[in-house]
Amino acid sequence: MHTVPNLVERRLNGSFITHYMLELFGNSIHFALANILLESLIDYQKNYFLSFDPYVLLFSSLIQGYFLTIYSTKSPFYRFLGNLIAPSLYIAIEFSIEGITFWNDLNHRFYPLFGFLIGLTQLLQGFTKRKSIKDLLIIIENIIRTGIIFLMYYIFETQTNPNQTENLTTFFSDTSHQFIGLSLLFFGVAIGLANATSQHYLGLLRDTTTKLKTFSEWLLGRELLNISLIQPELLHQQRQQRTIMFIDIRGFTQWSEAHSPEETVTLLSQYYCAVEDVLDRHRVIKWKISADEVMAIFAQPLEAVRAAAEIQQQITPLLAPEQLGAGIGLHCGQVVEGLLGSDTIKFYDVIGDTVNTTKRIESAAGKGEILISEPLYQYVKTIFASDLSRQLHVKGKAHPLTVYSLTETAPQPAVAVSVSA
């Protein structure tokens, strides 16, 4: 598990507050707001906003929104049950205060019905796989939502114009009522179509961004991708102090010649997974692979050496049955890092003598051995003390390099070793 919170995933998935606000204002609070507006206009009681009613409605909606934000993604049944929370809470609290007279108001009786119908359409949306049926259910859900407004309008009219609302026939004989009813119906259909289209587009967008996230992690690595979102200037070419690690399987070319491509790929895949598992726990900035070679870049020397020790522990049992083993080399120093390439194709990498020197050190490491340079050893010697030092004569260096072996079973030549590769 990656130890640093993945900023990319948080941005793609959204925060809890974002999901809660979308749930609350996109679903849970609709009936409550319409009911508060109705009761405040027709003034069921004086000083309506000094009574408990509006706040019980809002409190119930807040609780429902919280529940649906946390649990609705677990199962479609949670959406169905969640939409009954606000009506149930409101009824339980108000009924305990008003008693049986609570049911005298039509809007009180319709609250659980709307919650049931909306929850049912969301339940069916969660189970259906066919886009056409899901779109139809979204349209029906939004017609139900506009039905809340129509119900409140009808109740308002029964209170203010009782002569025009003796029955539904009389009510709809008024052309203004016909206009309101048909307008809300058409608006419900239009909003439903818009929501269905936006959900389809949002799904496509999420799928695309998920793939882009994966590709970006391949290019930059998780750690650097997270940091670059906060400080994009870090992708510019600049000089940095880094610790470099190279890993290479000894005898792999000869081994692969004697095995099928499928067997080779299988072993490499297991090798890569073992290395990645360790690197994810040790704040690697970036790592890349080339056949059996792995290169990793670290900001902290101690973190790099700890990772090397764990990697050797992980891959040794994997490679030993095939009579194979890996040599690991580490060195620290100045590098130029950032995006390299042309105007159309770029990749993140590090360049400099530190990288070349690390590769030379790795080439001198025996099977199962970890070699670190003298400068790196000075950073970690209080944790990884070793008296297994030797001199390397490497190509391009006027003076031999002092390296330290951190593997007790590693070969310990007493003479200088020439590395020309």
| Strand 417-419 to 389-394 pairing | parallel
Nearest C-alpha neighbor of 361 from the set 322, 303, 323, 308: 308
Enter the pTM of the model: 0.66
- State how far the Cα of 253 lies from the Cα of 262, in Å rounded to an integer: 15
For 404-416, how does the pLDDT look when each residue is reduced to its tens digit (9 = 90+)? Answer: 998 643 343 333 3
Average pLDDT rounded to a whole number, residues 304-313: 93
- State how far the Cα of 360 lies from the Cα of 355, in Å rounded to an integer: 9
Predicted local confidence at residue 158, as pLDDT: 86
Question: How far apart are the two ends of the chain, measured CA to CA in Å?
Answer: 36
The domain ranges of the chain are 7-218, 236-419
Name the one residue in this structure whose structure tokens are 């919650």: 115
Name the one residue in this structure whose structure tokens are 């209080």: 382
Nearest C-alpha neighbor of 188 from the set 142, 148, 150, 151: 142
Asked whether 336 and 239 are in contact (CB, 8 A), the reply is yes
Q: Exposed (0-12), middle (13-18) or buried (19+): which is 47, by Cβ within 10 Å?
A: exposed
Q: What's the distance, CA 38 to chain centroid?
A: 42
- State how far the Cα of 318 lies from the Cα of 308, in Å rounded to an integer: 15
Query: What one-character DSSP code corresponds to residue 410?
Result: S
Asked whether 235 and 291 are in contact (CB, 8 A), the reply is no
Which of the four pLDDT bands, split at 50, 70 and 90, describes residue 107? very high
Asked whether 90 and 111 are in contact (CB, 8 A), the reply is yes
Give the class (CATH, top level) of 236-419.
Answer: alpha beta
351: which 2 tokens? 């360049």
Collect all residues with Cβ–Cβ distance below 8 Å to 325 and sequence separation of at least 6. 249, 250, 251, 316, 319, 366, 367, 368
Helix-helix angle 222-230:175-220, to 10 degrees: 120
Beta bridge partners of 147: none
Query: What one-character DSSP code corresponds to residue 85?
Result: H
- State how far the Cα of 337 lies from the Cα of 405, in Å rounded to an integer: 28
Backbone region of residue 333 per phi and psi (left: phi > 0; alpha: psi in -120 to 50; beta: other values): left
| Strand 389-394 to 401-405 pairing | antiparallel
86: which 2 tokens? 């606000």
- Between 210 and 2, name the one with better pLDDT: 210
- For the chain, give the mean pLDDT: 86
- Between 205 and 44, name the one with better pLDDT: 205
Q: Exposed (0-12), middle (13-18) or buried (19+): which is 217, by Cβ within 10 Å?
A: middle
Supply angle C-alpha 157, 158, 160, rounded to 5.
Answer: 60
Predicted local confidence at residue 413, as pLDDT: 39
For 178-223, how does the pLDDT look when each residue is reduced to its tens digit (9 = 90+)? Answer: 999 999 999 999 999 999 999 899 888 888 888 887 777 776 767 7
Nearest C-alpha neighbor of 297 from the set 268, 331, 325, 344: 331
26: which 2 tokens? 């996109």
**Beta-carbon count within 10 A of 191 CB:** 17
For 111-127, how does the pLDDT look when each residue is reduced to its tens digit (9 = 90+)? Answer: 999 999 999 999 999 99
What proportion of the chain, given as a percentage, has pLDDT over 90?
56
Residue 243 has pLDDT above 90, yes or no: yes
Which of the four pLDDT bands, split at 50, 70 and 90, describes residue 394? confident
Q: How many residues are there in the chain?
A: 421
